[in-house]
Structure 1
Amino acid sequence: MLPYFPPGYPDELLYSLLARFHRHVGETSPKRTLDVLFGNRSVRAGVLLQGHLQALSERLPPHRELTPGRLLADFTLYPYLTAFQPADVRLAVRDALFLGHAEWVTVRLGLAASRVQGATGLRYCPACRSDMLNLYGELYWRRDHQLPGVAVCPDHGVRLQDSTVCPGTIGQHSFIAADEDNCPKVSSDVQDDVSIPWMVVKRCARLLRSPPAPMSLREWGAHYHNELRQRGFGKGDDRIDQRRLSADFASWSGEPEMGGTENWLAAMARKHRKAFHPLEHVLLGLFLDAHAPVAENAPFGLGPWPCRNPLSEHYGQPVVQLAGTHQEEGKLIGQFSCSCGYVFSLAAVPGSKPRILDLGPLFRQRLRQLVAEGAGLRATARALGVDPGTIRRHAERLGLDAPWAPLKSRPHVPRSPRAACPQPPPPDPVPRRDWPGLDGQLCGALRAESERIKTLSPPIRASATVLQRQFGRRDWLASRLSKLPMTACALAEEAESVEQFRLRRIVWAAEELRRRNLPLKPWRLRRLAGLPEQASSQVEAALEAYEGL
């Protein structure tokens, strides 16, 4: 347990906190600092993400209350880098940073192959530099200054400056603290508070403190698809006008239109098959905020929609979101979901009635309570706002011992006989196949085909696949071997294994070398027979048998 560890400053990077500890204790060896902090001298210093947080937390003073979860959420870029990742990816990355290295995490998050690359060195804000010296008497590295792709400070709108500290060039085990030498005093212009760079960094900094709820890639794709269509970027039944989207985005951002493989905007408007960088999500989100939804382009109206669950506390309140759309019998169907678990669908047709897909956990919980209290069928239906048939069905699905009679299957009522009418004549019966006779024919033909293949030069392996392919009935024969026992036995006997084929190629190679009047050397045989450098013991013994001949 460390007797001393510095307190963290507002929005300080864990890299900076560990670097200030290294400086405060007067340590000169980065390896000894790693040994003290982590108990492991091979730990790598991470700027954006830091591994081995569990070991670090166990050595810090308890009064600092720096648990692994707090270190990860409050002192690294984990909330930002995983803001748009599914729940399982967030959990896997968290566990990896708690217990191990952070190197593979960048690959799992797609940062290694991302078009958005961070700065090579640590950055600082000239205005924040003066505030830090006045308030704390020392400088430190802030998290929101190291966000990949951002260019200004979220607090002052001042363009960030590159320090002289480049972690990639100073060693992978060193923590370098900010000071007045590596962060020289400079002047910088202030951005307009409504400029796109400042809006981007404010949104990115907000993700550090309050990331959105986890959603799957499919859900993010459906979300952006619906939002774009509501803002007039729809085309046809359920497509996005990519040309108009690219042109409007270029006009809004002031950047040239994108095209080819670099058009991440078009990829985000389609189904998401991979994760996108948080900065790309932020840019698209700001673009959507700058364009108000158009009522005529929203077939279900402008959301959110009121909750239809009478058992929920927010019944009637606009909290329902559009989860996705699909086409059904030429109609656009929207699926709506509420946080209480109530899910329903609605067709984009005037007068269409909603179709309940899931009544939610509140319904099932209340149904169990009413059944346990001995409530009657109709009383239960009135209390839950559904018909008695729905109550019966859900009680049976949940296996409840209800006091009312279960659903009864409707008795079969035979149809009245119709007047006799002329029937078409039955089709001619298909003659039955003579399987025993066919089995004998195929067995003989397969063995003959095997002998023919084994006489070819250079040799070809008579595998089961080759035999069936040469026979012209591969798929047909493989599915009918149960009816052809002799053919199946012949196929098993004649099919040549890899080792048998290599032994046969050795014999062929020896005959070929004799024909060319060349010495029978094992290396010549191996090369001519196409054998690997190390084969099975039987093949190697066959090669050694030719040594000295």
Structure 2
Amino acid sequence: MKPKRSVKLEHIRYSYLYELQKLNMLSAKGRIKFNNLISSFNNYFRNDLLASIGSQVERDNHETWLHKVLRNSGDVIHPLKHILLHIFFGMKIDSTIKGSNLMISIPHPFGNGPWPCLNKTAEHFGEKVIPLCEITRCHNTGKPVGTFTCSCGFVYSRRGPDSSEIDQMKIGRIKNFGSVWETKLCELWDNKNLSLREKARQLGVDPQTVKRKVNVSSQVTNENSQKPNKLQQIKVKRNEWLSLKGEDTSQQRKTVYNWLYKHDRDWLMQTRPINKGNSYSNNRVNWVQRDEEIAEKVRDIVNKLKPIKRVRISKTEIGRQIGALSLIENQLDKLPKTEKELEKVVENIEQFQIRRIDLSIAELVRSNEILKAWKVAKKAGLKTEAYNRLKEEILKKINNVS
């Protein structure tokens, strides 16, 4: 008699979300399109059949058993309802059980990260060094829009979803060129031996963009002879602003802000906090509402971080990604729901290593490679000490897949 396998409910939920993604029933931000789902579900099964087994789903009810299953509410759901969902999605129960120890990642509209930096002036051009992609929705088409921010300051966006890995090398719009690109612009512009077209080619833009960026810089200088010094001053002020952004009451910050507003307004508007009226410095705070908002942001960003092997899910990383690090570090006592979410998802070192092991096994399985403990450890980036400590756990996970 074969031993019984335990099935992780979180795995089953991710399996359902995976199927919803394939049916285009997840929004660009990963929200479930329940209206579409309920209509399709009720059309697939007869209403009288669902009613006879106590599994009907009403369109106007936002607390049905279907909502509870897919939102990971923690409620106990009858196995019959899971069977109905498996039938609806065309899933095999045996496959769900066999893969219950693998981490399933929902298909990303822009492929799996990290993503390449497309700044032609950077040494790491074309290398996959961008760990996160911020996804929004196009107001005109409803399609996902990915924004990619590199450490070199280059920020670009692209409307998706990507149809192949080749699409990852395409830029829809450049949102910010960054200091590395602009330093190269200054260097090339002073080189009289290069044509405008060649300068544009090396910068990865069209000639009109080069002329426009130089004209913006020239407006700062007032006199062409002073241009190199002024451009250097802009660079210094930008770095100063970035280091002072969090100091809301700093007089120095106000001085730098005013200087940049006068001389480099376009760049300043791109880097200042969005929606100033709702900033966290507001003294009249609805902490209940804020707690709900931040807890939701925590859930969203964790779903994006889980498939990324190189990023540990910590309070600091979550706070930094959602722009609420100061609140999480200093005001967490006023945010009970956020604190509860953090307690559920924050990883210690070993949990981080095990997640990397799960992701690595899943990658090897998808590539039809033979699973070996050393191969999994290498792909997960484990050092010798961690490998020796977790080798039994790796072997156990490999056996569960077999």
- Calculate the TM-score normalised by the size of structure 2: 0.29
- Calculate the TM-score normalised by the size of structure 1: 0.22
Give the structure with the larger helix fraction.
Answer: 2
